[in-house]
Amino acid sequence: MKKMIHILAIIGSLSLSGMATNIEARSQFQDSFTADQARDARKQGKVLGAGQVMRIVQRQYPRLKAADARLSSKGSQGPRYYVKMLSSDGRVVEVIVNARTGRILGTRGN
């Protein structure tokens, strides 16, 4: 009986930690544009295209390889691209770009 209670307690704690991970993942992308929203914003001239932004970032960081771009909007900050860059040794650097102007706002990561 004690063994069963111990197993259930472990399963319960794993479920809660999984829920926390899901909540964190959801909050990370809750402000992201869907593919349709990003396409519409680009067509309306509200943002630059992802390919164009990735080329801008690639020129600024020629030793890194642009891998992915995510369009996001957080409150009054306006739309931003988060461009994931990879180094030759596997490091990931995220470059934050103003989606309207293409201006690089900063980086985070290694």
Provide φ and ψ at 72, rounded to 5°: -140, 155
| The overall pTM is greater than 0.75 | no
Give the burial class of 33: count Cβ atoms within 10 A of its Cβ; 0-12 exposed, 13-18 middle, 19 or more buried: buried
**How close are the terminal C-alpha atoms of the chain, in Å?**
49
One digit per residue, pLDDT tens: the chain, 110 residues? 555 454 544 555 544 444 444 444 344 446 788 989 989 999 999 999 999 999 999 999 999 999 999 999 876 778 999 999 999 999 999 999 999 999 999 999 86
